[in-house]
Structure 1
Amino acid sequence: MSVNKAAEANGINRSTLQGRIKGSTTPREAQKPRQKLSDIQEKHLRDWIIIQADLGCPVSHQQVREFASKIAVRNGFPEGVGKNWLQGFLGRNPDIRTLKGKKIDSDRYQGASSELIKAFFMLLMMPAIRLVKQGNRYNVDEVGMMEGIGMNGLFLGHQSKKSVLIRQPGSRAWITILECISATGKVLRPTVIFKGKTVQQQHFPEDLDFLDDWEFACSDKGWTSNKLALVWLRKVFIPSTQPENPKEPRLLILDGHGSHVTEEFLWECYDNNIYLLFLPAHASHVLQPLDVAVFGPLKRAYRRLLLDLVSVADDSHVGKITFLYTYDKARREAITKSNAIAGFKATGLWPVNLAKVLMNPMVTETPSPAVTANLPAKEQHSSLLKTPQSSIQLRRALDLIPASAT
């Protein structure tokens, strides 16, 4: 068959076919040596963008440009990517498109409703998330503790009195601790956040052996900040959770605290193959492993140990040194492998078990708006992963969940 007839039969230009026969390259292939990101790097960025958007934490145009520039600098292009790079990236990846963000007022729905929880579990059924191994699934949260305690309880005394005064630590200083556990029961080292400008030597006991692997920081209010969340990610989570196979993804489950959603935090997650899954608002008491099975025993142990200490000590003052000793003992007692595994099991996060959560008496039947789950909206995904636009569509989607998920 002649070139003319072959071109006509296949509906292509004769000169294009002639060029292919002679070994010429396509315009896109000709541009490859000038591309600042390789095809593999672009594919990884594309996949992470889509999956993270489906998980309810999309990245903006500016963030994608910044990510691409960081990669380009590593590839030997110190100027980063150009102003038109994003347009070209979207053209090369037509399955990504610009979407308008829609904010949902968390007060408009009950976070622990059965309908919202079912929608949340659909995210866990996404193919990319199902591939994350048990040992690579983590939950992080902060727990607030007072140096002293404020507690009313039942005690024995003379029958003529209505109440009895008890001696207890009186300090009300607030301290935040970041704790993280895995679905296999791994417990990461804690990060302790004091209120103040700097961490001072006087905060610590002379014997520091039990604090060797702890991290310490300060913030104005004693809470997690943008900076401290990033420090924790870089210094604690990433190095402590490296999979044996660096290509394996990690899943970090956390609440929607604003300090986690910064450009730097997202970049570190992308760069280390970490997916972020945010829990629905007002649902941590049924969906967060740390809340369900760890923090309760931890606080009870801390109160008991502190009261025991005061009952035998002459000085009822509790400072940071006493706090650290007491918290360490409570932590060893409560943040255990068995409690961590129990937390993931009770919340249905591992093994993934929707029915386990729906049987929780704290789950309500009050319907929630379907949009709060931030479900996938890409046409190329299966019907199970399309965003429902009405309650009827949501029910139909829920009916498609495999039996193994319930």
Structure 2
Amino acid sequence: MHTESPLTPSQIEEKIQNAIIALQLKEFKSIRKAAEYFEVPKSTLIARVAGRKSRTQSHEMAQILSNAEENTLVRWISRLTITGFPATPMLVKEMADEIRLRRVQVASSRIPTSTEILPIGHEWIYRFQKRHPELKTCYSRQLESNRAKEATPENIQAWFDAFRTRLIERKYELDDMYNMDETGFGVGTTQSTRIIVDSTQKSNWKVTADKQECITAFECVNAAGKALSLMVIFKAQNTNSAWIPKDTPQSWQFSTSTNGWTSNSHGLEWLKRVFEPESKKVSGDRPRLLIMDGHSSHITGSFIAFCIEKDIDLLILPPHCSHLLQPLDIAVYGPMKRYHALEVDRYSRAGVKRIQRAEWVELFQNIRKKALNSSNIKAGWRGAGLQPSTPQMRTSNQDLDLSILRSSPPDGTELRQANQTFNKALADNDSLASPTRRYAKRMTRLVESQNAEIALLRKQLADAQEVIETRKKRTKGKRVKLQGQFVFSSEEVLKMVREAEEKPKEKKPRGRPRKRPIEELEEETEEEEPDSSSSDLELELDECVARRTR
């Protein structure tokens, strides 16, 4: 026998509301007939018509979030599930805390302290889920070992469906669709590249700098082929002004961390100091789309709350699919890493054992100009199938490397042309003897070989000279330890340096500091010991003498 499934509380409440509206419109003559028609308890309908609140409404005052706030949180969880990055219980609690904190800020002119707001208990998630049966708890499948297992056509197609839905609903322009990602650079590290070596030598290693550290760079590009300002994270405790040269773009941001990697605070600071002001100038009141991977530094309660407040739509990439769907990974970071490796090799050939941070900032300006151009950025969006929207490119499981740079063959040298002319003249002249002919050919080959050797030496010398001249031109200036905030822009750093240089210096006395005169102290007289102690001492001496004489 088939039995209907029990209704959820929200469905029962919907029926009661329909019954009340029908009674107000006088569609039924009695409450009993309305209760029978809508299949709700008559006693409940009588009480509700009389003005009694529902159980949900009566318990709302005791809840941490209001019903409207909880419904908003449920919709956000649903959107996050569709994008392929389901919310964790910890993230839901962070979002609830963020909603509650901002609600208090709106109602009050001052910012409440953390002690004024009680923390959310561990049982709140269970009660919240019980109030919203449409939510369920399950364990996400983790396949970290193989990226290809996650990059299935089904997962990619589901993400493209969510992307196309957002595109239709919000009607984004090319200037309003952004992709952000961070990447690490090893200062002093190079790449494993294809090389040509002497076959008689067994070694195929490449010399690198002694000291290596990680520097993280935040990059963000839009579908129109433009890039936002850079944010750099050094491995240090505090930012030092000596690391930022004076010709550094003023909009660049600099920060530090204990390991040179990003953190939750860095992601939020980048959103506030870089993305929001710079993208707002371009988009105005139009909605903005921000596509990112699911790194933990991006998906935090404060990060998401700020995006909701500023009308920024987040779209999270599926796990392990950034190499297929992220424009920066497809056509920007590849050339950028190769240019970086070439610069590191150039410094190593010049005999530089350690690349200074200020030098790295200078060389990265040139690297960024070469790799972060409009054609590479547009190629990344096109290769990801996002602009124009062509999901079939990505669902075919064809992982094409679209970041390979084209190179033209080198032109011939004048010496080679001269040698060809000379060899042709020798061939046409039959009057020369064979030994002379062989000697002339040998001389031409020798001259060409020596010229090539000189060209190589000149290139190495020019590279070394360029590094030396760059270090000479760089003025060290005043080293200022930057404190007071977490992230600094180039403009703020240079301003602090100027203020420190303009500050009058305290004159130090010349020569060695004079020694302080030794103050004469009154002689302390020892107290006279009692006679008993002296007599005891005499007895001890007598005993020692007696032992020695035995």
TM-score (norm 1): 0.69
In structure 1, how many angstroms separate the alpha carbons of the residues matched to 2:31 and 2:291?
Answer: 54
1:344 pairs with 2:381: yes
In structure 2, how many angstroms separate the alpha carbons of the residues matched to 1:37 and 1:107?
Answer: 36
Q: CA deviation at 1:112?
A: 2.4
1:228 paired residue among 259, 262, 266:
266
Q: CA deviation at 1:47?
A: 4.3
Distance 1:11 1:291, change over 3 A: same
How many residue pairs get aligned? The number is 351
Distance 1:288 1:163, change over 3 A: same
In structure 1, how many angstroms separate the alpha carbons of the residues matched to 2:95 and 2:322?
Answer: 30
Assess if the C-alpha contact under 8 Å between 1:72 and 1:80 holds in 2.
no
Distance 1:115 1:154, change over 3 A: closer
Residue range with higher mean Cα deviation, 337-346 or 80-89: 80-89
In structure 1, how many angstroms separate the alpha carbons of the residues matched to 2:383 and 2:285?
Answer: 29
In structure 1, how many angstroms separate the alpha carbons of the residues matched to 2:387 and 2:333?
Answer: 18
**SS of the counterpart of 1:241?**
helix
Distance 1:87 1:152, change over 3 A: closer
What is the match of residue 161 of structure 2? 122
Q: CA deviation at 1:100?
A: 0.7
Assess if the C-alpha contact under 8 Å between 2:209 and 2:352 holds in 1.
no
In structure 2, how many angstroms separate the alpha carbons of the residues matched to 1:342 and 1:325?
Answer: 26
Structure 2: unaligned runs, 5 residues or longer:
1-24, 37-41, 401-550
What is the match of residue 237 of structure 1? 275
Distance 1:3 1:332, change over 3 A: closer
User: CA-to-partner distance for each residue in 1:241-264, whole Å, 9 max, x for gaps?
Assistant: 223116x2x332222222223222
Distance 1:284 1:152, change over 3 A: closer
1:212 pairs with 2:250: yes
Instruction: Quote the RMSD (CA, aligned, Å).
Output: 4.4
**Which residue identity is paired with 1:179?**
E
User: CA-to-partner distance for each residue in 1:118-141, whole Å, 9 max, x for gaps?
Assistant: 23323324x345434143322211
In structure 2, how many angstroms separate the alpha carbons of the residues matched to 1:288 and 1:59?
Answer: 23
**SS of the counterpart of 2:182?**
strand
Q: CA deviation at 1:88?
A: 11
1:104 pairs with 2:141: yes
Distance 1:57 1:152, change over 3 A: closer
Q: CA deviation at 1:169?
A: 4.7
Distance 1:8 1:244, change over 3 A: same
1:291 paired residue among 312, 318, 329:
329
In structure 2, how many angstroms separate the alpha carbons of the residues matched to 1:223 and 1:303?
Answer: 20
1:196 paired residue among 201, 219, 236:
236
2:367 paired residue among 330, 333, 343:
330
Q: CA deviation at 1:323?
A: 0.9
What is the match of residue 94 of structure 2? 63
In structure 2, how many angstroms separate the alpha carbons of the residues matched to 1:7 and 1:165?
Answer: 89
1:185 pairs with 2:225: yes
In structure 2, how many angstroms separate the alpha carbons of the residues matched to 1:112 and 1:4?
Answer: 58
In structure 1, how many angstroms separate the alpha carbons of the residues matched to 2:290 and 2:26?
Answer: 59
What is the match of residue 17 of structure 2? none
**Equivalent runs, 1:340-379 vs 2, <5 Å:** 340-359=377-396, 361-362=398-399
1:263 paired residue among 301, 310, 316:
301
In structure 1, how many angstroms separate the alpha carbons of the residues matched to 2:327 and 2:77?
Answer: 27
In structure 1, how many angstroms separate the alpha carbons of the residues matched to 2:381 and 2:96?
Answer: 36
Distance 1:240 1:36, change over 3 A: farther
Quick one: percent identity of the two aligned structures?
A: 28
**Equivalent runs, 1:22-33 vs 2, <5 Å:** none
Distance 1:307 1:74, change over 3 A: same
Assess if the C-alpha contact under 8 Å between 2:176 and 2:222 holds in 1.
yes
**SS of the counterpart of 2:229?**
coil
In structure 2, how many angstroms separate the alpha carbons of the residues matched to 1:277 and 1:39?
Answer: 26
Q: CA deviation at 1:111?
A: 2.3
Q: CA deviation at 1:170?
A: 4.7
In structure 2, how many angstroms separate the alpha carbons of the residues matched to 1:3 and 1:195?
Answer: 73
User: CA-to-partner distance for each residue in 1:52-73, whole Å, 9 max, x for gaps?
Assistant: 3432243645334323313321
**Which residue identity is paired with 1:330?**
I
Assess if the C-alpha contact under 8 Å between 1:68 and 1:80 holds in 2.
no
Structure 1: unaligned runs, 5 residues or longer:
364-406
**Which residue identity is paired with 1:121?**
F
What is the match of residue 339 of structure 2? 301
Distance 1:172 1:26, change over 3 A: same
TM-score (norm 2): 0.53
Distance 1:158 1:253, change over 3 A: closer
Distance 1:227 1:44, change over 3 A: same
Assess if the C-alpha contact under 8 Å between 1:65 and 1:86 holds in 2.
no
In structure 2, how many angstroms separate the alpha carbons of the residues matched to 1:108 and 1:162?
Answer: 34
Q: CA deviation at 1:179?
A: 1.0
Higher relative CO (Cα under 8 Å, sequence separation at least 6) belongs to: 1
Q: CA deviation at 1:223?
A: 0.7
